[in-house]
């Protein structure tokens, strides 16, 4: 009986595991293999060069810049995005004042409208969002500097994407704006599943909204927050950061490599410079950074599961 059960399970999993190995695991293996070659990506001929690509990468100043920028994306973008999403979702679901004849636990007035407003950027493609903000950041005719001129702050008109000191922060702001709405909806769904009796008991005991958030909401929502942190970090290290930097910045990746991230550097080396082997080497480093980030978040965020 047990033998038949395991055979059924193995047969059921064989096809999906085979597809996963073919389309996910095998490309990783190929990338690691090509990182030890001098493959250009254009010719089928190549030879093994050992660790030459890795030595070159360690001596590459632009690689270290891109690594630092990617680490900033992975740490700061999820922190700001999830922090804002938790605040907005808490106010939408729990942060309102008791109205006469209404429930004790309620969201702020117009919470339904706020959900739509916060989620709206998710309807737009990240490419469209990047283009819109590229126009908004234009130092001459952009909406931001035009607004500053309109309120009399003519002297405070930065170059935004043209200033190496602030260009990366401008790009990060776009990524936060475009993703925070998704997590507002996600956290709102989690908060809606928390029994209202827990909030009512906390309020009856004299707990403030601040205390209620940190003692009731956040502990019960922690698994969702942790998963969201890993998901947001992977987005910030991967396609999302590539899209906004590629579309919005000069070069792209400028000025002076001030916005270059690892995934963009991989793209440039592979498709602009014809150095596919070196690009896969940087890709392997990106894989290590992503796995290390996910493992670190899961390790530091581990806590005893709370049930209700």
pLDDT tens digits for range 43-84: 888 899 999 999 999 999 999 999 999 999 999 999 999 999
Q: What is the pLDDT of residues 86-120, one digit of tens each?
A: 999 888 887 766 655 555 567 777 777 887 888 88
Who's near 238: CB < 8 A, 6+ residues apart? 263, 290
4-29 b/e with 16+ CB inside 10 Å = b? Answer: eeeeeeeeeeeeeeeeeeeeeeeeee
What per-residue confidence (pLDDT) applies to 4?
65
Tell me the backbone φ, ψ of residue 286, rounded to 5 degrees.
-65, -40
Percentage of residues in the chain having pLDDT higher than 90: 43
Class of domain 61-300: mainly alpha
User: Per-domain residue ranges for the chain?
Assistant: 61-300
Longest dimension (CA), the chain: 81
Which whole number is the average pLDDT over 8-32?
88
Q: What is the pLDDT of residues 223-233, one digit of tens each?
A: 889 888 998 98
């Amino acid at each position: 009986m047990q033998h038949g059960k395991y055979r059924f399970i193995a047969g059921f999993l064989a096809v999906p595991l085979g597809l996963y190995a073919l389309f996910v695991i095998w490309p990783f293996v190929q990338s690691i293999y090509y990182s030890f070659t001098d493959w250009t990506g254009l010719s089928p001929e190549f030879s093994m060069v050992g660790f030459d690509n890795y030595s070159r990468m360690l001596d590459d100043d632009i690689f270290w810049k891109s690594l630092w920028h990617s680490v900033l994306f992975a740490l700061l973008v999820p922190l700001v995005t999830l922090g804002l999403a938790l605040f907005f979702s808490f106010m939408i679901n729990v942060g309102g004042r008791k109205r006469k004849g209404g429930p004790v636990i309620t969201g702020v007035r117009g919470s339904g409208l706020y959900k739509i407003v916060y989620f709206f950027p998710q309807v737009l493609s990240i490419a469209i969002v990047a283009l819109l903000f590229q126009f908004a950041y234009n130092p001459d005719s952009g909406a931001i500097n035009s607004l500053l001129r309109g309120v009399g702050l003519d002297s405070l008109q930065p170059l935004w994407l043209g200033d190496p000191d602030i260009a990366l922060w401008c790009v990060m702001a776009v990524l936060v704006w475009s993703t925070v709405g998704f997590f507002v909806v996600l956290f709102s769904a989690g908060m809606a599943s928390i029994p209202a009796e827990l909030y009512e008991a906390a309020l009856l005991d004299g707990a403030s909204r601040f205390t209620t958030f940190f003692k009731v909401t956040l502990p019960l929502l922690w698994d969702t927050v942790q998963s969201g942190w890993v998901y947001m970090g992977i987005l910030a290290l991967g396609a999302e950061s590539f899209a906004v930097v590629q579309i919005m910045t000069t070069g792209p990746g400028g000025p002076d490599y001030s916005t270059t991230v690892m995934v963009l550097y991989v793209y440039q080396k592979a498709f602009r410079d014809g150095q596919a082997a070196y690009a896969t080497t940087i890709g392997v480093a990106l894989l290590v950074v992503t796995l290390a980030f996910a493992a670190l978040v899961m390790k530091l965020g581990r806590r005893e599961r709370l049930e209700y």
